[in-house]
Amino acid sequence: MQIQRFWELESAPETKPLTKEEVLCESIFIKTHSRDSNGKYTVALPLKENTSPLGDSRGIALSRLHRLESKPSGNPALQAEYVQCLQEYLDLGHTMFFYFFGTNLH
């Protein structure tokens, strides 16, 4: 009984076959991944085909942005933390400014 239990514990777990999308994702990774001069990995994003468009979400996004930005304005300490956090994102390269010519964002 102990030998049988040993082999049950030592056997490799069964793996299920990859889906069609998982195979495609793995293929895209293998074909497109690389390392940049800083040692960071880059890879193309696997995008699904035949997806529905996002729609007109710009108005909703701007409304949420304005609410988010107005929240800390009544609290100077919170406002300073918010500005510091955004500056850190900029300094680390996690975000950047975008300017849309001919578009009023506010």
Tens-digit pLDDT profile for residues 70-100? 888 788 898 899 889 989 999 998 888 877 6
**What band does 54 get if pLDDT is binned at 50, 70 and 90?**
confident
Same domain, 67 and 106: yes
Pairwise pLDDT comparison (20 vs 52), residue with the higher score: 20
The residue segments making up the domain with residue 28 are: 14-47
Token pair recorded at residue 104: 């009023």
d(CA 100, CA 106): 12
Q: What is the mean pLDDT of the chain?
A: 82
Q: Is residue 24 part of a domain?
A: yes
d(CA 44, CA 92): 22
Closest CA to 38 of 96, 92, 95: 92
DSSP code for 102? T
Same domain, 74 and 104: yes
Q: Is residue 8 part of a domain?
A: no
Same domain, 68 and 41: no
pLDDT score, position 19: 93
Same domain, 103 and 62: yes
DSSP code for 73? G
Matching residue, tokens 């996690």:
94
Number of domains in the chain: 2
Same domain, 23 and 68: no
pLDDT score, position 87: 92
Residues in CB range of 95: below 8 A, 6 or more apart:
86, 89
